Chain A
Amino acid sequence: MAAKKSTKKTSGTDPATMTFEAASAELEEILQQIDSGELGLEEAMVLHRRGQVLLGHCRSLLDRADQELREVALDELDSADEAR
């Protein structure tokens, strides 16, 4: 479900370059837009696709942060071993 196109009504920024906060803020906006009910079906679909991409980006950012934390913990173990 990775649509790369971005059209009107979205920020148009490449999600890959967005910060977590920017991406989640745009997601909120998209939800509001869809909720407003003023959109045509096609527009709503485009926004939804964009929302999915942003969601994926947010998740990957969180996963990466989690991964880094785990790596730090591992490093800690390593250095503790060296100290011994």
Chain B
Amino acid sequence: MGQLPLSWKPGDAQPVDRPKPPPDEPLSVSELSASIVEALETLPSTVRVRGEVSNLSTRRHWYFSLKDEHALIGCVMWSSRTRGVEDPPAEGDEVEVSGHIAHYPPQGRTQLIVERIRQAGAGALRARYEALCAELREAGWFESEHKQPLPLLPARIAVVTSGTSAALTDVVRTARERCPGTALLVVDVRVQGEEAVSEVVEAIRRLDAHRATLGLDAILVTRGGGSPEDLQAFNERAVAHAVRECTLPVVAAIGHESDTTIIELVADRRASTPTQAIMHLLPDAGELRQQVDDRTQRLRLLAGQLVQQAAQRSRRHVEQLRRTMSMIIQVRRTTVQRLATELAHRRPDVLLQQRRARVQAAVQRLGASMQRRLQAGRVRLERGAESLPRAIAASQSRRHERVQTLQRTLQALGPVSVLERGFSMTTDEAGSVVRSTDGIEPGVRLTTHLVDGRIEARVEQVEPSGTVEP
């Protein structure tokens, strides 16, 4: 490196198809120039050169010289190329450039047309690394909030690495051991040198773009250990960008454990070795099975508990409902009990009893009333009985007097006095006074009452005629 793969002396390589001038004739300048141009065309199209920058002019196109202790060559980098350069070189910088040699006959100048330039010194590399690191950290690219979670059990992982590396062998072996079910898609890229950056970037971009068709779940970018220069591709901004923009989770394991490249800082997960990296991505199948078993067991237990709790709750609710209903019924039962008691108090036989009692009472009242009346009567009677004899005596004497008066009157008017005066009275056998001859027939017994006695006589003859003389 840093040396032209060229051992060329002017006039040494003459184009074969050109008409050779006579040996003794000198060449014209143009001829010599043309020869130089032709000779340069036989060189490899691209050369990589390392050297120190001097006489730098960066107005539009960059003009500078590359030199080492013994040589110097002019360089030009057209503005169309300088635009992509991340860290422009400064006077005295150790750089690595790539491009092609061209000879410019009008000025007789042979120079390197630079296509790419990058810092090459170890110190410079370090400085570049630190600057980019600081910038990206400042921009928050390393923050965990930008990190994507890794898939739990990826179906397919793309491994971006050198197809012949030990790193790939490690990754494949570990993957087979841990999780044979996961497919690996190996993308063979150069992992160091000039083309590494573009190949890695390209690989990441295309894998991400076709993630669905490829059925990818993650990307693993890895390479084994090497010098800082070897790992330089993974410290490039372009690579960091590609990882940052990648929608698939990216795991990066570059170099040895002590190396930390920028791709590892930007990646969703970094690992110290390729083996570690694939272990991050793949679960251990046996462990996984154990986990599933454990969780199944726990789930079953939990479900059982839930069912039991639900059953208990539902039992409690039913019990509560039943108690409430029982209470409602109990309240009504009390009401019915009261109604029953009250109705029983109004039983017809009770009513009857009441009525009977009332009748009894009436009877008693009646009896008492009669008794009272009787008593009153008795009192009255007794009182009467006391005055009765007197009254009777009085009335008797009154009657007596009256009778005597009447007797006297009667005597005056009566038959006796009549009889005394000589008249008599005849009665029939029935005692009736005979006032007429009617019905009197001979043989009938008659009694004739006289003042001093009577005469029993039998009728001899009846002569109804004139009146009896007084």
Interface residues of A (CB under 8 A from B): 20, 24, 27-28, 30-31, 34-35, 41, 44-45, 48, 51-52, 55, 58-59, 62, 65-66, 69, 72-73, 76, 80, 83
Task: In the A-B complex, list the 8 residue pairs whose CB atoms are closest, starting with the nearest.
Answer: A45-B348, A34-B346, A51-B343, A58-B336, A27-B339, A76-B318, A31-B342, A65-B329
Chain B, interface size category, equals 20 to 34
Known: A31-B342, A72-B318, A73-B322. 8 other contacts (CB 8 A): A28-B339, A31-B343, A34-B351, A48-B343, A48-B348, A62-B332, A62-B336, A83-B307
Q: Return A27 CB to nearest CB of chain B, in Å.
A: 5
Chain B residues with CB under 8 Å of A34's CB are 346, 351
B325 x A44 contact (CB < 8 A): no
B343 x A83 contact (CB < 8 A): no
Taken residue by residue from 224 to 262, chain B's Cβ proximity to chain A (1 for < 8 Å, 0 otherwise) reads as 000000000000000000000000000000000000000
Closest to A61 in B: B332
Chain A residues with CB under 8 Å of B329's CB are 62, 65-66, 69
Report the Cα distance A52→B315, complex, angstroms. Answer: 39
Q: Is B169 an interface residue (CB 8 A)?
A: no
B351 x A45 contact (CB < 8 A): yes
Given contacts A48-B348, A69-B326, A83-B307, contact A27 B333 (CB under 8 A): no
A35 x B346 contact (CB < 8 A): yes
B346 x A31 contact (CB < 8 A): yes
Q: Is B340 an interface residue (CB 8 A)?
A: yes
Most buried by A among B326, B329, B352: B329
The 8 Å CB contact of A55, one of B311, B326, B336, B348, is: B336
B346 x A52 contact (CB < 8 A): no
The 8 Å CB contact of A44, one of B332, B336, B351, is: B351
Interchain residue pairs with CB less than 8 A apart (12): A24-B332, A34-B351, A44-B351, A48-B346, A48-B347, A55-B336, A55-B339, A58-B336, A62-B332, A65-B329, A76-B315, A83-B307
Q: Return A54 CB to nearest CB of chain B, in Å.
A: 8
A44 x B346 contact (CB < 8 A): yes
Report the Cα distance A83→B304, complex, angstroms. Answer: 11
Report the Cα distance A65→B333, complex, angstroms. Answer: 11
Q: Is B373 an interface residue (CB 8 A)?
A: no
Closest to B352 in A: A41
Taken residue by residue from 120 to 153, chain B's Cβ proximity to chain A (1 for < 8 Å, 0 otherwise) reads as 0000000000000000000000000000000000
A59 x B336 contact (CB < 8 A): yes
Q: Return B306 CB to nearest CB of chain A, in Å.
A: 13
Q: Return A68 CB to nearest CB of chain B, in Å.
A: 9
Chain A residues with CB under 8 Å of B326's CB are 66, 69
Report the Cα distance A65→B436, complex, angstroms. Answer: 114
Chain A residues with CB under 8 Å of B325's CB are 65, 69
Report the Cα distance A69→B328, complex, angstroms. Answer: 12
Given contacts A66-B329, A69-B325, A69-B329, contact A24 B335 (CB under 8 A): yes
Q: List B263-312 residues whose CB lies under 8 Å from chain A.
A: 307, 311
Most buried by B among A28, A35, A55: A55
Q: Return A42 CB to nearest CB of chain B, in Å.
A: 9
Q: List B336-391 residues whose CB lies under 8 Å from chain A.
A: 336, 339-340, 342-343, 346-348, 351-352, 355
